[in-house]
Amino acid sequence: MLWLQSFVSLLFLQDAVCTLNTLQTNASSLEQVRRERSHPQLQLQAMRGFLERAGLTVEELDHLNIIHVTGTKGKGSTCAFTEQILRSYGFRTGFYSSPHLVQVRERIRINGQPIGKELFTKYFWQVYGHLDETKDAHGGTMPAYFRFLTILAFHVFLQEKVDLAVIEVGIGGAYDCTNIIRRPWVCGISSLGIDHTQILGDTIEKIAWQKGGIFKPGVPAFTVRQPEDALATLRGRAKEIKCPLQVCPELDDYQTDCGPLRLGLAGQHQHSNASLALQLSHTWLQKRCLPDKSFPSTSVENFALLKAASFKPSPIMVKGLADTEWPGRNQTLKHGAVTYFLDGAHTMRSMQACVQWFRETAAQHERNASGPVARVLLFNATGERDSAAMLKALVPCHFDFAVFCPNITEAIASCNADQQNFNVSVENMLTRCLDNERSWRLHNSLGDDKGTQLFIKGSLPLVPEKRPDTLVFPCILSALQWITQGRDSVLADPTKRVFPVKPSVMAKAAPLCEVAEIHVLVTGSLHLVGGVLKHLDPATSK
């Protein structure tokens, strides 16, 4: 009977996720989003209304002891470090992040683990039921996808009685739906850069203004080192809001008995995220343990931008930093002769950091290889992002092959509602991939001719026949199976079916069969990385 219970539970979960996906395309939701783009201050007003319709109040959120984090690059990693540190102290943690890699339940975590299937289903229908019952009295409106998940996260954390909640901002800060939080215990801003320009603005100052919108009067805030113009804007926002803002020290400034701090997340850029996490967790612990001394004075003279003091991290903090895991960010997976380097970099600054990490890490793996190695790039980018610039940054990695595919896990799909995106057509996805392939060719034809840059040509099903000399695979699985050439047993599962590949395309893969190892960098999109992880680590789908 256990199998029957499990099957029924899965059906209820899939029903919940499919219902959630309707909020991606709900006409009233989309119209509301379009209207609010012109009047962003309406977003928080609408969010409060949906929160109340779901049976919650902003006053209840005050009891979640929230750490609120925004930024362009590294905010998720900062949250992961912070959550791990405080969980290591024995606190029951909630963690809300986005996007998810494989399953939507990853966005809402209790004690570091995605919320269970049964709990997700139960709490989903509780919140959805309240909203659905009240929609007729509110013009038929339902919250859009991210807004609903934010409400659901708050509901889950309150019901599960967490000691604290680490909340990652979705986009921006000032008008992000997470910013209905009134009284966080501490706020953080990770590295800033240019992204989401249509929503946040096209200059670093405009983006910094939006990010600084999470500041609250008297609530301590920390930021990492920023470009000078961004820092000036953050300082102005902090003074305007009467929020004490401090800049984090370098990670090497923290005194330890065991030499340099070891981080569970790879990459030099993680050092600033770890320093920010130390300041956030330290400040939270001060308020928890010394409530009368936790917040700095809110007198006006204290709003000069100060450098936060370094301190000696406790052994628990040291262990927390070392134990932190954050899949899809500077992650390495070795499957026999195939090694995957996974990083969801999707801005220029994050791509530059990705390139530095990959070149160092891949070189180390190549030194230990038993023979020749082939380097393969698997890339996709979505939205308004400058994929041509990101691809140019990848050229110095000297890939032997470049492969492009949309964020579709399987062309012959088993239902995977968690990764469905109804806001972009398959045709648009494939067109974007063809554009990316064209950019890659252009960058390499203008660059160094040394080395063996092999470009994949031919055509595949689902790719318009009028572009016969480009290779864009129709899905992630077909791309992975072509790249690995049967050398990864996880991908050789006969139940994983893809469209047949033309013999001319298969012939191009001969070098991949001859080398000792294949090294694959997967980057450009967290959704692409998530689709790859779904195939490489089946446990992530359970």
Residue the block writes with tokens 């990764």: 419
Eight-class DSSP state of 376: E
The token duo for 160 is 């599960």
Distance of CA 4 to the CA centre of its chain: 34
The token duo for 539 is 């446990």
Task: Decide if 358 contacts 520 (C-beta within 8 A).
Answer: no
Q: Give the residue ranges of the annotated binding site for ATP.
A: 329, 343
Q: Give the residue ranges of the annotated binding site for Mg(2+).
A: 98, 168, 196
The token duo for 279 is 């300041």
Phi, psi (deg, nearest 5) at residue 454: -105, 125
Those residues with Cβ within 8 angstroms of residue 188's Cβ, 6 or more apart along the chain or in another chain: 67, 68, 69, 70, 71, 75, 78, 82, 221, 222, 223, 276, 277, 279, 280
Strand partners, 345: none
- Give 125-172 as a DSSP string: HHHHHHHHHHSGGGTT----HHHHHHHHHHHHHHHTT-SEEEEE-SS-
Q: What is the dihedral of CA 188, 191, 196, 198, to 10 degrees?
A: 90
Pairing of strands 331-335, 164-168: unpaired
Eight-class DSSP state of 69: E
**Dihedral sign from CA coordinates of 365, 396, 404, 415:** positive
Strand partners, 333: 340
Q: Which long-range contacts (CB under 8 A, 24 or more apart) does 424-429 make?
A: 424/382, 426/462, 429/382
Euclidean distance between CA atoms 529 and 476, whole angstroms: 10
Count Cβ atoms within 10 A of the Cβ of residue 381 and give its class: 0-12 exposed, 13-18 middle, 19 or more buried: buried
Q: Give the residue ranges of the annotated binding site.
A: 98, 168, 196, 329, 343
Task: Decide if 381 contacts 433 (C-beta within 8 A).
Answer: no
